[in-house]
Structure 1
């Protein structure tokens, strides 16, 4: 397990409610990452102790709905779940308020099922039919347990629409926390573009590398590691530098100095483009999903923080780079920093605390005879 976006949200929620108990399906974080979330003991489910769970906990997805339902939360007045899979399925009673912060309904069980099966080589055969049946059962469970949530909070308007589509429920939007204070502003830019991400298929780093192979006069630096690294090595031309994993300070330095940050994934929110903007670096992003909310395209250079491209293709990225340069880098670097600060951790803590307090007051008034 890694300390990523959902873990950051849990960390901030834990800091807002310092006396709350913390539960999880599994906890295989390193001691250092766990301390970033809480110094409290984290109570886990039976999956924690299953053979092979530490390395292959995702293989136990079919058991996770059962596991989450075994957590006894009957002693609590307020339940807050941070859910990108099954956490919202905890059992609660009529006198308990359940607020669920949803990073996404289970992506690979709903609209991304076909992509998941394709990328997992499960499109044909007996294993494919077993996987499809299991995902069908998970969809049924996921829809049914939405009824146990009093209020949904989505991490973007994009996910709010997905919640409405999947669960038939409305949700409020509170953007996740981004540690913008760890990324200092810099207006001294150099002549290279940057892409940074885990090198996994849905991040579409291959499209970015292919695009720059068509632009040999422009330099691209790629930071990150993952299973797609051999594929990217095969695609990279001499103007593309694959640096692999880099420590935070090195990543931040490149983010600060890059002419622009290039982002080709369809993300639910997308923290990395906000981190780039916190450095004063504009973003060239795929115009779908969370990027439409985190990157601001405008004809007014005083508020623009980047531009979008409309298709996940190398040609679309090439066109966006050319359009960006034709604007004479018209994006104001300071505007990027100001925009990024609107996603700060401080803002998240204040918004989320106020939200839960307000919902509890409303809920409490309904309990009064």
Structure 2
């Protein structure tokens, strides 16, 4: 079980890896985006409605959709959840073991300070209602796994449940095995990667590059593109946009970057691990997933500040770091490690 399935995204990568562990299993999603090439997915009835085009409008209906997903019953159900997938019920608790891998309790209803999509004061009452629904409809879940200690803490705070921590899989070997021409780049620019939406702080990334006096490459796509391009035109350093780079191009960009700028509070963050697999250090905030993926002072630098000057000061310290040490650290987040830990967790919960 997964929420909506997009063309790209860390949660989709995790879902694929979980599905590979149980290749005989059915794979359900709310809907699949039109540009997602994944095959073999069973979409919910929500996919046949216009609501598939608006996650925010569809959100209140999602618990109902998960509860009316199918008349089939299963011995084991594994959900990949960042909204309401963990509320799905395809059998009684006495006969069905339901396990949930949690990317985050839905930020827009539980943590609106992190994600502005739920911060409108007019949504405070609907948010409280959805919180109650979220807890009430998930009491049948036998076991939770969290993608980070950050998420483990939120599961305990919001749902009053314990969870094991299993960090997501990252294809670190592929990123490390770049062609020789990519590996000898001069590393003369800073890099920002991700979806161009407000909470990712790409405006701050541009300001950091200006304060550091270094060229910047922004890779990704999103609704803030026009606004970011306007900021880039006024910037005192070159800012290049790489819109929807493919995987090979993204690897080239990681290998050519002086550092990845990641001033965002993420639940885990696969992108910083991909960068480190390429020997590229990360400069970001001392919170969330970066506390688990970056070794401060060894594979990057973390700061509590959102002042561009403070981040720029860390850019000037990058020569203190070893690319070999950075790449070696990233190997601890491999798909093989994920498969081993997930298999052990599933086996333990199904005994």
| TM-score, normalising length: structure 1 | 0.85
Secondary structure of the residue that 2:349 maps to in structure 1?
helix
Secondary structure of the residue that 1:307 maps to in structure 2?
strand
* Candidates 333, 336, 342, aligned match of 1:346: 336
Deviation of residue 78 (structure 1)? 1.1
* Candidates 292, 303, 314, aligned match of 1:320: 314
Deviation of residue 31 (structure 1)? 5.7
Structure 1 stretches lacking a partner, 5+ long: 299-303, 362-369
| TM-score, normalising length: structure 2 | 0.89
Deviation of residue 360 (structure 1)? 1.1
Q: Deviations over 1:82-123 (max 9, x none)?
A: 10001100124232211100000010101226852587xx44
Equivalent residue, structure 1, for 2:101: 101
* Candidates 194, 198, 217, aligned match of 2:191: 194
Please show how residues 21-60 of structure 1 align to structure 2 within 5 Å.
21-30=26-35, 32=37, 34-35=38-39, 40=40, 42-50=41-49, 52-60=50-58
Equivalent residue, structure 2, for 1:219: 215
| Aligned partners of 2:276 and 2:327 also within 8 Å | yes
Secondary structure of the residue that 2:54 maps to in structure 1?
helix
Separation (CA, whole Å) in 2 of partners of 1:117 and 1:355: 33
Deviation of residue 234 (structure 1)? 2.9
| Aligned partners of 1:74 and 1:93 also within 8 Å | no
Gap change, CA 1:188 and 1:244, over 3 Å in 2: closer
Separation (CA, whole Å) in 1 of partners of 2:115 and 2:150: 18
Q: Deviations over 1:288-339 (max 9, x none)?
A: 10011011114xxxxx2111011233233223223x24xxx12111112111
Q: Deviations over 1:190-219 (max 9, x none)?
A: 222211221110110111111222333x22
Gap change, CA 1:187 and 1:296, over 3 Å in 2: farther
Asked if residue 307 in structure 1 is aligned to residue 301 in structure 2, the reply is yes
Gap change, CA 1:118 and 1:5, over 3 Å in 2: closer
Root mean square deviation, CA, Å: 2.1
Equivalent residue, structure 1, for 2:153: 161
Equivalent residue, structure 2, for 1:232: 228
